[in-house]
Structures are given as C-alpha cells and as structure tokens.
Chains A and B, each alone.
Chain A
C-alpha cells in the first residue's frame, strides 16, 4: 500500500464520516431504528470502488460504518448498518463488474440505495419482532432518491478527477 493510496482511502473515509454526520442531522426517516441512515456516505465507497478497486471500496465501507457508530455512540445500530452497507455495496460491485459497459453508475447507485434501506427495514423488523414492512412505502423511495443523488455525484466526480489522482 503506497502512501498515496493510503492517503486517498483515508480521505474518502473521513469524507464519508462527514456525510454520515450531515445525514444524522436530518429528521429521522427510520424512527423505528435509531441510527439508521439514508446511505449518502455510500458515495465515497462507490468512488473508492473506481479508484482503488473492490477491496478499496470495502475498506472505506467497513471503516466508515464502524467509526460512524463510534462517533454516534450507538453500537447497536451496527446490527442493521453493517449488513445494509455490505449487501448494498456487494450488489453494486457485482453490477459494476458485470454491466458497467451497458449501465451507468447512476442506476447502479439507485439499486444500492434501495437495497440499503430495504435491508435496514428488514433487519429492524426481525429484531423487534414487529411487522414493519408497511414502512417500506417511504423508506424505499427515499433510498431511490438518495441513490440517485449519490449516483449523479459519483459520475461527475469520477468524470472530472485528474489522471494523477488514480496513481497507485
């Protein structure tokens, strides 16, 4: 791991944490699951996927999820934040690897966003034992919107990053 790569990943991780902080300031979308997020920070994992490959993205993902709960002081939220992040990111990786020639990063991000919120809702429902599935009515569209926003941001960021940035 070169210093450049290390710095790049560290930069992405801290940016992701800032986005997490901003997200928590929004009104709680997931009132039944304290600590559940919109998934905006996935923007950085997605960018890391393009600059540093699958592993780079996983590194940013794992560290940002763990640290964001350390900062929030809410380790219980890891029960739904971690699976949601991993499932959402893994599916996005598969889509990128298989279909990037045909599908843009925007729709991949949308799928990731929806999956992220769906996973959070499912796990919170299993944990509490209460039927929370009616809540997908607004969590899924919000995931769609978040994914759309992240996808467009990722596209323009990656399109304009200078060549030098990608150096290992």
Chain B
C-alpha cells in the first residue's frame, strides 16, 4: 500500500484544516459573482464582428442582418444573436441574445466572434 493510502485509511473525512481550505476556496469561487452583482452592467453601444482577422463594428441602434460564411447574425432591438448557422454544434445559436457590454457569442469552427462593445468603461472594448 502506498504511504498516502495508509495515511488516508487512518484519517477522518473532515478536519479543521479541511474546513479552512474549503471555506477559502468557496469564497474565491463566489467572488466573481459578488463583483458581477455590485458592478452594474453597461448597456452595449455597438457590436464588433470578427471573422478570420477582419473586424467590423455595427451600431446596435439600427436593425440589421449580417451574413458571414453560412452564419446569419441578427441585430435587432439593441440585441444581437445568431439566428442560424450550419456549424455542427450550434453553440453560437444556443447562446441566445446578447446586449451587455462585454458579452459575446462565438462560432469556434468558423472563427466568427461577435462581441458587444460599450463605451470602454469596464474594459469591454479592446
């Protein structure tokens, strides 16, 4: 039996140190959630669509349909979403409508990135 196995056979399932470690890790895991709740989300102003290295920025205030490489992206009522795509997984379509600065929808197989750009306050525009 390996030394660590022997050690485990002797030990209890939870010790005080366990409790401390778990609490610390739990707090670290929940920190991002607190930040999200405290910092108000910025409404997006425009959307940046990047495909194979080229980016185009469209304003969110105008309804538009953008077709790239078999994917149909709709800008409607200040929100953006993949209406349809002929990719295998369709994760992009499942993402649904995005509208907050920093939100994104991505089609990895086709290298299409759709990102909402705010006015730069929270680092959402690059």
A interface vs B, CB < 8 Å?
28, 31-34, 49-53, 96-97, 99-107, 110-111, 114, 128-134, 136-137, 140-141, 143-144, 152, 155, 158-159, 163, 166
Grouping DSSP codes into helix (H, G, I), strand (E, B) and loop, the A interface class, with mixed when no group exceeds half, is helix
Please tell me if the beta carbons of A131 and B104 are within 8 angstroms of each other in the complex: yes
Given A103-B21, A158-B5, A158-B9, are A137 and B36 also a contact pair (CB < 8 Å)? yes
List chain B residues, Cβ under 8 A from A28: 91, 94
In the assembled complex, 13 residue pairs joining A and B whose CB atoms fall closer than 8 Å, in A order, are: A32-B91, A34-B91, A102-B17, A104-B11, A104-B15, A104-B18, A110-B25, A144-B25, A144-B26, A144-B29, A158-B9, A159-B8, A159-B9
One of B8, B30, B91 near A31 (C-beta < 8 A): B91
Check B56 for interface membership: any CB of A closer than 8 A. no
Interface size class of B (residues with CB under 8 A): 35 or more
List chain A residues, Cβ under 8 A from B113: 128-130
Check B52 for interface membership: any CB of A closer than 8 A. no
- Closest A residue to B87 using CB positions: A34
Please tell me if the beta carbons of B22 and A107 are within 8 angstroms of each other in the complex: yes
Check B33 for interface membership: any CB of A closer than 8 A. yes
A107 to B13, CA, bound (A): 10
B2-26 CB contact bits vs A (8 Å, 1 = yes)?
1011011101111101100110011
With both chains docked as a complex, state the minimum distance between the C-beta of A102 and any C-beta of chain B, in angstroms. Answer: 5
List chain B residues, Cβ under 8 A from A131: 102, 104, 123-124
One of A102, A114, A141, A158 near B8 (C-beta < 8 A): A158
Please tell me if the beta carbons of B22 and A31 are within 8 angstroms of each other in the complex: no
A85 to B105, CA, bound (A): 26
With both chains docked as a complex, state the minimum distance between the C-beta of A105 and any C-beta of chain B, in angstroms. Answer: 6
The residue in B5, B11, B124 that gathers the most chain A C-beta atoms within 10 A of its C-beta is B5
Please tell me if the beta carbons of B104 and A136 are within 8 angstroms of each other in the complex: no
List chain A residues, Cβ under 8 A from B7: 100-101
A34 to B87, CA, bound (A): 12
A152 to B12, CA, bound (A): 12
